[in-house]
Chain A
Amino acid sequence: DTGVSQNPRHKITKRGQNVTFRCDPISEHNRLYWYRQTLGQGPEFLTYFQNEAQLEKSRLLSDRFSAERPKGSFSTLEIQRTEQGDSAMYLCASSLGYRNEYGYTFGSGTRLTVV
C-alpha cells in the first residue's frame, strides 16, 4: 500500500468549467475526508465519509460541490461551474476507525487553478 493517492496533482481550468478530482485512500481505512487549503492557510474541512456514506458536510461545501465514495473505496470531488475563488489545494485524508490516535494519512493534494 503506497498511502493516499490523489489525482491529478495539478489542474488548470477556465472559469465556469466543471472539474473532478479523485482520491484513493489506504485500502483498509473506512474514513475519508476532504479538506481545502488556500495559500498560506491551514486546511479547512469540507466533507467526511464513513465507508460509502457521506455523514458530514461543511457549510463551505456549496451546492456546486459534490462528493461521492461509491462502494466505500475511492472518492471523487466534483466542482461545477468553477469560480476563481475555488482556486486552492484540495487535500484528501483517510483513517481507520474513530479512535485513530495517529490522526490521518494525507495525500499530496490536487492544486486547482481557475483562470
Chain B
Amino acid sequence: AQTVTQSQPEMSVQEAETVTLSCTYDTSESDYYLFWYKQPPSRQMILVIRQEAYKQQNATENRFSVNFQKAAKSFSLKISDSQLGDAAMYFCAYRSATSQGAQKLVFGQGTRLTINP
C-alpha cells in the first residue's frame, strides 16, 4: 500500500518570503500522480499543483512550484512571495495512474502554514 508522509506539522513564513513544505511517499508503482492540496479554514480542499510521475520537469503554477525527486520519492512544494491568503493546511497526496481500482487519493498528515505579516 502507498503511504505519504509530511514531516512538518507546522511551518511559518514572513509575508513575501519563500517557504518549502516537504513530502515523501512510498510506492512500488512507476506511474502515478502527486498533488498538493490547500485546505483553508473554510475546509474546502483546493488543488494547488500536480505532478505526473513520468514527467521529469517540475510542475509550476505561478508562485507555486515543486521539486519532484522520483528516485528519492520526494515531492516538496515551494511557495514564493508568500501572501496572507496562502495561510492554510497543505496536504500532499498520491494517486495511482493505473486503470484498475478507485484511483483514490492517499493523503499525508498535512502541514499547517502560517503567514506572518
Q: Which of B70-108 contact A (CB under 8 A)?
A: 91, 93, 95, 97, 99, 101-108
**Out of A40, A55, A109, which one reaches B44, CB within 8 Å?**
A109
Interface size class of A (residues with CB under 8 A): 20 to 34
CB distance from A104 to the nearest CB of B (A): 7
Chain B residues positioned under 8 Å from A42 (CB to CB): 4, 6, 91, 93, 107-110
Does A67 reach chain B (CB closer than 8 Å)? no
Chain B residues positioned under 8 Å from A26 (CB to CB): none
Number of A-B contacts (CB under 8 A): 64
Instruction: Please tell me if the beta carbons of A102 and B47 are within 8 angstroms of each other in the complex.
Output: yes
Given contacts A33-B102, A48-B102, contact A103 B37 (CB under 8 A): yes
Chain A residues positioned under 8 Å from B104 (CB to CB): 33, 45, 48, 56
Does A108 reach chain B (CB closer than 8 Å)? yes
**Out of B37, B103, B109, which one reaches A41, CB within 8 Å?**
B109
Chain B residues positioned under 8 Å from A55 (CB to CB): 102
User: Can you name 30 A-B pairs with beta carbons within 8 Å?
Assistant: A31-B103, A33-B105, A40-B110, A42-B6, A42-B93, A42-B108, A43-B45, A43-B107, A45-B102, A48-B102, A55-B102, A56-B102, A91-B45, A99-B97, A101-B33, A101-B50, A101-B52, A102-B47, A103-B33, A103-B35, A103-B50, A103-B93, A103-B105, A104-B105, A106-B44, A106-B46, A107-B44, A108-B42, A109-B44, A111-B43
